[in-house]
Chains A and B, each alone.
Chain A
Amino acid sequence: MDATTVIAVISCAIVLCGWLVLPHSATTTIKPVVVSEERKPVSVSA
Chain B
Amino acid sequence: MKIDSGDTAWVLASAALVMLMTPALGFFYGGLVRRKNVLSTIMHSFFILCLISVQWVLWGYSLAFGPDKFHLIGGLEWIGLNNVGFTPNADYAPTIPHQAYMVFQMMFAVITPALISGAFAERQRFKAFVLFSLLWATFVYDPIAHWVWGAGGWLHNLGALDFAGGTVVHISSGVSALVAALVLGRRLGFGKEKVEPHDATMTILGACLLWFGWFGFNAGSAVAAGSLATSAFVVTNTATAMAALTWMTVSWWHKRQPSVLGAAAGAVAGLVAITPASGYVNVMGAIVIGFGAGVVCYAAIQLRERIHVDDALDVWAVHGIGGTWGALATGLFATVAINSSAANGLFYGNPKQVLIQLAAIGAAWGWAAVGTFVILKIVNLFVPLRVQEEEELLGLDISQHGEPAYAL
Query: When each residue 8-42 of chain A gets 1 if its CB lies under 8 Å from chain B and 0 otherwise, what string results?
Result: 10011011001100110011100000000000000
- Docked complex: B290-327 residues within 8 A CB-CB of A: 291-292
**A3 interfacial contact with B, CB 8 Å:** yes
Complex contact A22–B252 (CB within 8 A): yes
Q: Any chain A CB within 8 A of the CB of B249? A: yes
Within 8 A of A (CB), among B9-51: none
- Taken together as a complex, chains A and B put the C-alpha atoms of A46 and B188 apart, in Å, by 56
B334 smallest CB distance to A (angstroms): 10
Contact of A12 among B256, B258, B287, B292 (CB under 8 A): B287
Cβ distance B269 to chain A, nearest Cβ, rounded Å = 14
Cross-chain contact A11 with B253 (CB below 8 angstroms): no
A4, B291: Cβ atoms under 8 Å?
no
Taken together as a complex, chains A and B put the C-alpha atoms of A12 and B242 apart, in Å, by: 8
Write out the residue numbers on chain A whose beta carbons fall within 8 Å of the beta carbon of B288: 4, 7-8, 11
Is the Cβ of B249 less than 8 Å from the Cβ of A18?
Answer: yes
Chain B residues engaging chain A, CB cutoff 8 angstroms: 242, 245-246, 249, 252-253, 256-258, 282, 284-285, 287-288, 291-292, 333, 347
A4-B347, A11-B242 as given contacts; A18 in contact with B284, CB under 8 Å: no
Which among B252, B291, B292 has the greatest number of chain A C-beta atoms within 10 A?
A: B291
- Chain B residues lying within 8 Å of A26, measured Cβ to Cβ, are 256-257
Q: Do A28 and B347 form a contact, CB below 8 Å, given A8-B287, A8-B288, A15-B245?
A: no
What residues of A have a CB within 8 angstroms of the CB of B285 in the complex?
Answer: 4, 8
- Tell whether A5 is near chain B: CB-to-CB under 8 Å: yes
A19, B249: Cβ atoms closer than 8 Å? yes
Cβ contact within 8 Å between B282 and A4: yes
Q: What are the residues of chain B within 8 A of A2 when measuring CB–CB?
A: 284, 347
Contacts A11-B242, A11-B288; is A4 near B333 (CB within 8 Å)?
Answer: yes
A24 to chain B, nearest CB (A): 10
- Please indicate the chain A residues that have their CB under 8 angstroms from the CB of B246 in the complex: 11, 15
CA distance A28 to B259 in the complex (A): 13
- Min CB–CB distance B194 → chain A (angstroms): 13
Please give the distance in Å from A15's CB to the nearest CB on chain B. 5
What is the CA–CA distance of A15 and B270 in the complex, to the nearest angstrom?
15
5 nearest CB pairs, A to B: A11-B291, A8-B287, A8-B284, A18-B249, A5-B284
Q: How far is the CB of A22 from chain B (nearest CB, A)?
A: 5
Task: List 8 contacting pairs A-B, 8 Å CB cutoff, sorted by A.
Answer: A3-B347, A4-B284, A8-B284, A8-B287, A11-B242, A15-B291, A22-B252, A28-B257
